[in-house]
Amino acid sequence: MAKKRVVVIGGGTGAYQVLVGLKKYPVDLSAVVTMSDSGGSTGKLRREFSILPPGDVRRALSALSNLPLAEKTLETLFDFRFHSKGSLGGHSVGNLLLAALTQITGREDLAIKEAGKILAVSGNVCPVTLDKTTLVAELENGKKIVGETKIDLRWQGKEFAEVPIKKVYLRPGAKVFKEASEAIKKADLVILGPGDLYTSIIPNLLVDGVNEAIAASRAKVALIVNLMTKPGETDNFTASDFIRIIRQYLQKAGNKISHVVVNTKFPEDVQTLAWYLKHSSKPVLDDVDSRREKIKLIRGGFTQRGELLRHDPAKLVRVLTKLL
């Protein structure tokens, strides 16, 4: 019997958690990752070598690696970041490896495949596009913020932090990478999130052809709602706000969301929540009316223990695999 096909669309820590959980299950797994990152090591390599941003690709490869001690030693090495003031300062080993492989192979997609062989990944990692593009946010006051990192960090107060985002778009436009499109079309389950709404999830939906691939697929589409709001992006958002905004960027796919996963149980550790509140981040409250939204709602406790609030990979995958 053929394995069920699962596609995770996103980037950053959220997608990482989902991939870590899913790789332990007998599914045909693909990660379609964001290609609009512009800061840190990724931004430097992007500008210096004119390559696609490797940061989210690196995280996905690390998540899917099956080498011995992959989740500890290898993850530490691949994500290790030099903290010197020299030319290597700020760079991660994984980003440098991907940059080197891109120069060796001459193509970003081939570099990712070679890195996947080195790391013995289970599954497939696809850039959502091979086109070089920049994320732009237009605020409610008409101001524009250019670059994923500036949008991501505007909560620090330099870029109209309290003005809501009206919309985001890519400049110039980008076309979907064929392998990413095919993976989505053949999927039995497409997973959106969790992750930064405007800088990790939506940039994928802005790429020409992604909505069309989702529309052409028979897959169930599951949105995993974030645990906490993010200052500068989703201030005061509730779960229904996440659904509403995602649907705005899924119009060409017929607003195709079949399932929504919402966390309803938060840890009793007051200090952890206090840290988030101090940084203007609040728990995302469940206010979803499943009948009105015409979706199937999956509620439960999906957090893992730790200093930071993260989705527990095992808990998430336990409910996601029931959709197959």
Statement: residue 157 has pLDDT above 60? yes
**Range from 85-89, 131-135, 199-203, 219-223 carrying the lowest mean pLDDT:** 85-89
Going from the C-alpha of 61 to that of each of 15, 91, 190, the distances in angstroms are 11, 17, 19
Question: Domains of the chain (ranges plus CATH)?
Answer: 5-35+178-323 (3.40.50.10680)
Task: Tell me: pLDDT of 1 over 80.
Answer: no
Q: Among 108-122, 157-171, 202-216, which is the least confidently predicted range?
A: 157-171
Q: What is the pLDDT of residue 91?
A: 75
Q: List pLDDT tens digits, range 18-66.
A: 999 999 999 999 999 999 876 566 566 666 666 778 889 999 999 999 8
Is residue 290 predicted with pLDDT exceeding 60?
yes
User: What does pTM read for this prediction?
Assistant: 0.93
- pLDDT tens per residue across span 279-289: 889 999 999 99
Query: Would you say residue 220 has pLDDT above 90?
Result: yes
The tokens of 321 are what? 């695999």
Q: How many CA within 13 A on the CB side of residue 154? A: 26
Report the chain's mean pLDDT, rounded to a whole number. 90
| 252 DSSP assignment | G
Percent of the chain's residues with pLDDT above 70:
91
Residue 283, C-beta contacts closer than 8 angstroms, at least 6 positions apart: 227, 228, 229, 266, 273, 276
